[in-house]
């Protein structure tokens, strides 16, 4: 069954069997590319809505297993956190049936196992969204918009229509203010020239005025570093006078949520 083509009748049957939560899980994984079982559980099976954390975990496992069985989701061969982490360590992507259900005009995805670096990066992006969702659920902030790749990509007309590829676009509200961000989740894998090239693309896009024309404001760019040392390196790289003051900020991952809702960088 794993390699078989799923006909229209089967697709309709699967679609009719999906509940609202199933579709929410599939849509979020499609938006973020990859999520771990633990991340799906945190967002869609909150412990405080169940009899116990164990009940929430069991329900999450059953739902994910069913969605993988029906090929709405695909489960990567590689785990995160090792075998001892259990089923929550599995990593999920949108499956071929999920692609057809959410966007019937999209080409059928190829089945491949992404690199360790890609999985690590994408799960870090997804974890940021999880970490924002939980305080939003408590009423501490509003998560107005989350655009993963490629929805958050922008075309930079000033440099030959090159595509600027942020990791995320976020719109948040806290108190009376709204904060809009392009997000770069930095895992320390890019050297100075690559960081500068990306930063210069943001600067060119800002100067083009395209985003401001469409949305009245330009999002700030936050570079979320894996630690304090990497944050210092990024500040050094981005601290030159060629960049508009205040356009880009750097924050270590453990300070990033505070910065995203207006705290000092």
Query: Do residues 142 and 176 share a domain?
Result: yes
| Domain-embedded: residue 34 | yes
Phi, psi angles (nearest 5°) of residue 110: -85, 145
Cα 83 to Cα 40: distance, rounded to the nearest angstrom:
18
- Assigned domain for 1 exists: no
**What is the CATH classification number for the domain harbouring 32?**
1.10.10
Q: Are residues 136 and 232 located together in one domain of the fold? A: yes
Q: Which of 94, 113, 132 delimits the end of a domain?
A: 113
In a domain, 171, yes or no: yes
Residue 227 DSSP code: S
Q: Is residue 265 part of a domain?
A: no
**Do both 102 and 130 map to the same domain?**
no
154, 181: one domain = yes
User: Alpha-carbon distance 82 to 65, whole Å?
Assistant: 19
Buried b (16+ CB within 10 A) or exposed e, 226-248: beeebbebbbebbeeeebeeebb
Beta strand 220-225 pairing with 177-185 = parallel
Q: Which of 231, 144, 191, 133 is CA-nearest to residue 248?
A: 231
Whether residue 99 sits in one domain with residue 154 = no
Element (H, E) at 26: helix 20-32
pLDDT tens, residue order, the chain (265 aa): 345 566 777 788 888 889 999 999 999 999 999 999 999 999 999 988 777 889 999 999 999 999 999 999 999 987 786 555 557 789 999 999 999 899 755 556 666 788 999 999 999 999 999 999 999 999 999 999 999 999 999 999 977 789 999 999 999 999 999 999 999 999 999 999 999 999 999 999 999 999 999 999 999 999 999 999 999 999 999 998 899 999 999 999 999 999 999 998 7
**Predicted pLDDT at 265:** 79
Query: Are 91 and 188 in a shared domain?
Result: no
CB contact set of 68 (below 8 Å; sequence gap of 6+): 74, 75, 92, 95
Residues 97 and 128 in one domain: no
- The answer to whether the beta carbons of residues 36 and 126 sit under 8 Å apart is yes
Domain encompassing residue 48: 8-113
pLDDT value at position 1?
36
Instruction: Confirm whether 93 is domain-assigned.
Output: yes
Q: How far is CA 101 from CA 6, 9, 104, in A?
A: 12, 12, 6
Where a domain ends, among 113, 136, 151? Answer: 113
Q: Look up tokens 């080409």; give the residue.
A: 107
- ω into 238 cis (within 30 of 0): no
Residue 66 lies in a domain: yes
Number of domains in the chain: 2
Does one domain contain both 99 and 158? no
């Amino acid at each position: 069954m794993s390699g078989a083509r799923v006909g229209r009748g089967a697709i309709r049957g699967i679609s009719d069997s999906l509940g609202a939560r199933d579709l929410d899980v599939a849509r979020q994984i499609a938006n973020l590319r990859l999520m771990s079982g633990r991340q799906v559980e945190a967002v869609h099976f909150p412990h405080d809505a169940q009899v116990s954390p164990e009940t929430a975990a069991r329900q999450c496992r059953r739902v994910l297993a069913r969605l993988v069985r029906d090929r709405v989701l695909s489960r990567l061969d590689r785990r995160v956190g090792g075998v001892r982490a259990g089923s929550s360590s599995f990593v999920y992507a949108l499956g071929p049936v999920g692609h057809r259900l959410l966007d019937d005009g999209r080409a059928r995805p190829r089945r491949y196992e992404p690199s360790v670096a890609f999985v690590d990066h994408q799960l870090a992006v997804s974890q940021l969204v999880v970490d924002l969702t939980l305080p939003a659920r408590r009423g501490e902030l509003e998560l107005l918009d989350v655009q993963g790749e490629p929805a958050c990509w922008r075309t930079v007309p000033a440099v030959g229509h090159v595509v600027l590829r942020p990791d995320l676009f976020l719109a948040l509200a806290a108190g009376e203010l709204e904060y809009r961000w392009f997000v770069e989740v930095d895992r320390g894998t890019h050297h100075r020239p690559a960081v500068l090239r990306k930063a210069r693309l943001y600067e060119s896009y800002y100067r083009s005025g395209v985003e401001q024309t469409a949305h009245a404001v330009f999002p700030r760019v936050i570079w979320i570093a894996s630690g304090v040392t990497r944050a210092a390196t990024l500040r050094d790289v981005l601290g030159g006078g060629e960049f508009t003051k205040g356009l880009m900020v750097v924050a270590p991952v453990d300070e990033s949520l505070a910065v995203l809702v207006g705290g000092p960088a």
